[in-house]
Amino acid sequence: MEIKALSFTVALVGTALALLFVIFALYRKERGLTVYAAGFIAAVAGFILLAAQGTLPRFLGFIVANMLILFFQLSLAWGLRINAKLDTRWPRRYSVYLTIWFAAITLATMVFDSFMLRSVLFSVFIIISAVEFLVAFSLIKPALSRLVSRSAWMMTLSFSLLHTIRIVLLLTSSGELSGLMDNQFVNVYTFAFTALFAVLWAGLILLVDIADLSEELGRRNKTLEDLATSDQLTGLNNRRSLDAMLAAEMERSSRYHESLSIIMFDVDHFKNINDTWGHAVGDEVLKQISRIATALVRGPDDLFRWGGEEFLIVAPHTDLQGAIVLAEKLRQAIEGDTFPSVGALTASFGVAEHRPAEDCEDCFKRVDQALYRAKNNGRNRVVGFGATEALPVASVRIEWRSEWSSGNRAIDDGHRVLLELSNSLLDLSLAEKNGAELMPGMEALLDHVVTHFSDEEKILSELGYPGVVAHAHLHRDLVQQSLDLARRVNAGDCSAAQLFDFLVNQVVVGHMIKADSVFFEYTKGR
């Protein structure tokens, strides 16, 4: 084969690969790919200068050309180091190689003018640069480590072996070689394996790059999975991660008749913490509670942040009584701990045991009902929902609405307490408690109604509300009717349900919606 045709082939192959890496570098905008692109461009320029020997000054055709090709080989190792984030700087020893090579090629060209010497030295330095590639590669761990590692070692050793053979051919050549463009076997051999390895080097670099991208993609997917299934504040599993796990546990519980219990708890009066000390302190409280709970849950149990200040524990192989014991230990640990800025805190717990063939929704209704009862019966307690206990026909709770805000914090706080006391009565009523059990709650509600009405009248008077006298008359009428009903209940002339209905529906909700809303525009303006 004509040596000129081979040199032209090498130039074409190098140009195609250089363009490929330039496109990759422009698209990806990564420094390592830019180094690879620069290396392939340098190699193409070097081979063009070598092919033009005899028509160019000796400095360009011999010295510059060989320097560019050696830079190409070193750039493969340098780009690998950059992509692997080992070190972005050009290693000092690479500069030493280039400096020694520049001195050697200059002497071999300008002083000795020996093609043989230049060629042997060139192959020696190329082998050294190939070893540098292996050194860089050994410091990284691609995702396809075994395949990529074997490929890199096989290629580099084969490349070094072929250059070693070239050295032997040069030293044992019977004829006098005058230049690289002579139609001699050793030159044909050199250009042939150079064209082959230009493609192989490019392929290996792309394989390493793909392995790196694959590893990075795996890391990002893992991060996304962690973000999707972990709570960022506390580090616990989040609500999203619960579904699949709980479905599997419930199926196993039903199939093998194994106990499974769920504990739900939340921080008592957590809103007051955020309102008083700020959300940063509230976040620290949630973190500390998660640490306390993590230390107490057992190996098979799973702890989740359910949302806001609510947490959930899934306890396999645990019946209702065992779960209540676990919840009580956790309640005592929270109560006995000290929280920075806040001091002492408490939490309320609801516990339920999974029933055979029961779905997640029904089980959570019972857990939620247990927690609801714990909070409405004084908080800082554990309430279990029995296996034979039935849910109330309806679950009723009066939730605070934004349109009930008067614009005055003291009045709104009083209204919120009224709603909490009313919700406690509703819970007792739905639990089918008798009149005697309802009376203490109704008396507490009535006492707060009297206090709140007095405070509200004082605030409206201080604000100069023109309708304060008429509003006070409404208060007195409602209090009087409530007291009359209470006396009739005690005398046995009226049922507790009638007093309950009047206090919740007429005094609290009805009065707040119909009468209090009249002065909201005034208080908001003040």
Q: How far apart are the first and last CA of the chain?
A: 99
Examine the pLDDT at 394 and tell me if it is beyond 50: no
**8-state DSSP, 240:** H
List of E strands, 198-293:
237-238, 260-267
Q: Is 361 known to be catalytic?
A: no
CB neighbour burial string for 58-86, b if at least 16 within 10 angstroms, e if fewer: eeebbbbbbbbbbbbbbbbbbbbbbbbee
> Do 347 and 266 form a contact (C-beta atoms < 8 A)?
yes
351: which strand partners?
263, 384
pLDDT at residue 228, as a whole number: 60
- Which of 105-109, 303-307, 485-489, 494-498 shows the lowest per-residue confidence on average (mean pLDDT)? 494-498
Smallest CA-to-CA distance from 70 within 106, 34, 101 is with 101
Mean pLDDT for the chain? Answer: 84
DSSP letters for 11-57: HHHHHHHHHHHHHHHHHH--HHHHHHHHHHHHHHHHHHHHHTBTTB-
Residue 319's CB: how many other CB atoms inside 10 A?
15
DSSP letters for 176-202: PP--TTS--HHHHHHHHHHHHHHHHHH
Q: Which two tokens stand for residue 360?
A: 């997640």
Q: Kindly name the residue from 2, 216, 258, 309 that is annotated as catalytic.
A: 309
Q: What share of the chain is helix, strand, coil (3-state, %, to 5)?
A: 70, 5, 20
pLDDT at residue 439, as a whole number: 75
Enumerate domains of the chain plus CATH numbers. 3-227 (1.20.1070), 233-391 (3.30.70.270), 398-526 (1.20.120.50)
Residue type present at position 194: T
Q: How far apart are CA 499 and CA 461, in angstroms?
A: 30
Examine the pLDDT at 281 and tell me if it is beyond 80: yes
List of E strands, 346-390:
347-353, 382-385
The pLDDT tens digits for 99-148 are 999 999 999 999 888 888 999 999 999 999 999 998 888 877 655 567 77
Q: Which residue has the higher pLDDT, 52 or 331?
A: 331
Q: Which two tokens stand for residue 179?
A: 């230049």
pLDDT at residue 20, as a whole number: 93
**Distance from CA of residue 420 to its chain's centroid?**
37
Contacts of 512 (CB under 8 A, 6+ apart): 404, 415, 418
Q: How far apart are CA 240 and CA 248, in angstroms?
A: 14
> Do 289 and 349 form a contact (C-beta atoms < 8 A)?
no
The pLDDT tens digits for 473-484 are 888 988 888 888
Examine the pLDDT at 267 and tell me if it is beyond 90: yes
**Average confidence (pLDDT) over 519-526:** 78
Q: ∠ CA(248), CA(254), CA(255), 5° rounding?
A: 85
**Distance from CA of residue 137 to its chain's centroid?**
31
pLDDT at residue 102, as a whole number: 95
**8-state DSSP, 407:** S
Examine the pLDDT at 523 and tell me if it is beyond 80: yes
The pLDDT tens digits for 292-311 are 999 999 888 999 998 889 99
pTM for the whole thing? 0.51
pLDDT at residue 395, as a whole number: 46
> Do 380 and 268 form a contact (C-beta atoms < 8 A)?
yes
